[in-house]
Structures are given as structure tokens and as C-alpha cells.
Structure 1
Amino acid sequence: MFRWKIVFWTLSATLITSVVTAALFHWQGLAEGNGARATQEVLVHQDDLQLTQHNLVDLLAAIPLHNRLSRVNLEQGVLDIDLKISDASVGAAVIYEDIAELGLFAMERTTNLKQLRIRIIAEDRWLGTSPLLLAADLRRGEFSVSTAERLMSAGNKGLEENLKQEIRLMETGLYRRNFTTPKDPS
């Protein structure tokens, strides 16, 4: 009886070791695959990235945005993007972050875009309307990493006038009423 217990425990230990080793090799393979993918993304950032009709969807889908892309058009170095906001709880900070992310992509990562036009549209499912909230017109040579940083750090307060001019931001009355905090009267 004692001999069978030793055999049982030896086989159990061998089986557990085999399963753990197989799992570790599997996870290591996944980690190496992710490492290769991360390396590939870094290389894409370093290369001269040409935005075309063929890679437009894949590249834009990889940008971390809070709001969803509604319409995209690429024509003669000008990229037009409509972002749709369907959640009423979205604040101005989220909108500014999306503009910054799209600006960094278009003006810093690509080499063939000279202009990025962004429209932010509200989606009112109850009324079936999509009113324009704001629009921005970013141009190569005028949009920079520091511009993006200023947009990302703006929070839910309104943007400074010089930043609005830099990105040619136009706000509708609907946007001002719903997304900017009122200035302190004191």
C-alpha cells in the first residue's frame, strides 16, 4: 500500500509539473508575440507614415478615442473626421483629448497630411438629430506636441483664446451652453 502512495504522488507531481511547464511556455509565447507587436508599433511610429485609402481604417481604429468615429474622408492631404457623442455625460475634457489624439496622429505621425478638420457632433437618439457642437481645423506646422499637451490638460474648462485660434476652434451656442463651465463672476 505504501508503495502505491509513492507511485501516486510521484505521478501527480510529474503531471502537475508538466501542466505548469506547458502553461508557462504558452504564456511566454504570448508575451513574445505581444513584444513583437509592440516593437512593430514602435517601428511604425519611427517610419514615414503615409495615410492612404488602403490603411485609413486600420490606422484610425488604433487611435485611443473616447468618442466614436462617425465619418472619415481623405482627399488630397486633407483628412476630415466627424466624431459623434451619444453619451450626455461626456465632458469637454474628453472632447479636447480626442482632438489632441487625432492631431498628434495626423500632424506628428503621418507625413502626407497637411490639414485635419474635425467636427464634433451630438447624437440625439430621441429626436433623431445630430447637431454640430464644435469644429477644429488643424494644420501641419501649426499643430505641435505642446498644443496637444495644452488640449489634454485643459480639463472641462473652456480653452484659452490663443489655443482656440491655434487650432481654429469654432464652438456653437449648444456647445457653450452644455460643455463649458461658466466663468466665476468675481
Structure 2
Amino acid sequence: MKWTMRIVLTIGISTAMALGLSLLSNMELNTESSSPYTWSSHRGGQLTDKNLADMLVQVPLQMRIRRVELSMSRLSLDLSLPKNADTVTVYRDLYTLSQAMLNQTKNVDQVFVRVMDYSGGSDAASSQLVLAMVAQREFGKDMEKRAGDLSLIQLEQELQNRFRITYTSKWQQKYPL
């Protein structure tokens, strides 16, 4: 009789532990989705060094990101201009990037973007600035249209009317009027 009671008690305790551990892992999965270290595109959140990569991966860009720096409420990015990129690609990426960073985050107030030409070599010393843009939250609040729905002229006007864009002589050589 003693052995039967011990076996039943051991089975009961083992079952309770297994059930408790399975509930604990389910609770852990539910809390991970609302963790501040992962990015949810459905709502605006705090952009940090820990979730910056998660956010940038969700932004559909044609140009490659070469450098990113987040400091306080300022995000700085360097984009690499491909040899065969046209003006639509550049403007669409600038619009998409500024729209995502200003409307889907709570703490980014300024986005600095440099479009760089690295065709002279792979190191930073051989790169040339093609275009620079400063986008501020106050001017990007109502950017509701998707970049794919806008024409080249609309994209250019939207960006120039909202943000500060500086074109270099390299831009004018590559994309003459």
C-alpha cells in the first residue's frame, strides 16, 4: 500500500510540474510579443538601439543602408546609391524612410539621410555625397499616401515641400534636368 501511494503521489507531482512549466512557457511567449526589444509595425513605439534593426528591416527600400546612428531623438542614415538607380527610386526611398521613421515611432523627431555614391571604391574615403535630406516630425505628420501610389513629380514635390533637401553637383551630373 505504501508503494502504491508513493507512485500515485509521484505521478501527481510530476503532472503538476509539467502542467505548470507548460503554462509558464505560454506566458513567456505572450509577454515577448509586447517586449520593448521587438518592433511592432501596427503601433508607434520607442525606437532604441535594441529594436532599430527590427524596424529598418520592415521598411521596403531599394537602396542599401550603409550606416545608421540613433542618438536621442535623431536618426542618421547613409544610403548607398546603386549605379543604375533612377530618381524615382531615390525619392521613393526617401519618402518611405521618412514616413516610417516619423509616423511609426514616438521618439524620433529628426531623420538625417545622406545618399552616397560608393562607386569609386568600397571605403568611406572614396564615397561622394549625392543628396542630403533633413526630415522633421512636425512636417511629416500627415504623410498618409504610400510612396508607390505617387508619381515622380508628386514624390519630388512632397519631399521638397516638407523637408530640407540639398543636392550636390554629383546629383546634377547623374540626373540632369
Residue pair 2:121, 2:127 contacting (<8 A) in 1 also: no
Write the distance in 2 (CA, Å) between the matches of 1:51 and 1:127: 29
Structure-to-structure mapping, 1:70-89, within 5 angstroms: 70-85=66-81, 87-89=82-84
Distance 1:52 1:157, change over 3 A: closer
The answer to whether structure 1 residue 91 and structure 2 residue 70 are counterparts is no
Aligned position for 2:115: 120
Deviations 1:8-48 (A, max 9, x none): xxxxxxxxxxxxxxxxxxxxxxxxxxxxxxxx8xx933333
Write the distance in 1 (CA, Å) between the matches of 2:95 and 2:155: 15
Name the SS of the counterpart of 1:102 in structure 2: helix
The answer to whether structure 1 residue 111 and structure 2 residue 113 are counterparts is no
Write the distance in 1 (CA, Å) between the matches of 2:71 and 2:122: 32
Distance 1:152 1:172, change over 3 A: farther
The answer to whether structure 1 residue 138 and structure 2 residue 135 are counterparts is yes
Code of the residue aligned with 1:133 in structure 2: it is: V
5+ long unaligned stretches in structure 1: 1-39
Aligned position for 1:25: none
TM-score using structure 2 length: 0.67
Distance 1:44 1:147, change over 3 A: closer
After superposition, the CA RMSD in angstroms is 2.9
Name the SS of the counterpart of 1:138 in structure 2: strand
Residue pair 2:96, 2:147 contacting (<8 A) in 1 also: no
Instruction: Pick from 168, 171, 176 the counterpart of residue 167 of structure 2.
Output: 171
Identity of aligned residues (%): 22
TM-score using structure 1 length: 0.64
Name the SS of the counterpart of 2:50 in structure 1: coil
Structure-to-structure mapping, 1:21-60, within 5 angstroms: 44-60=40-56
Name the SS of the counterpart of 2:156 in structure 1: coil
**How many corresponding residue pairs?**
138
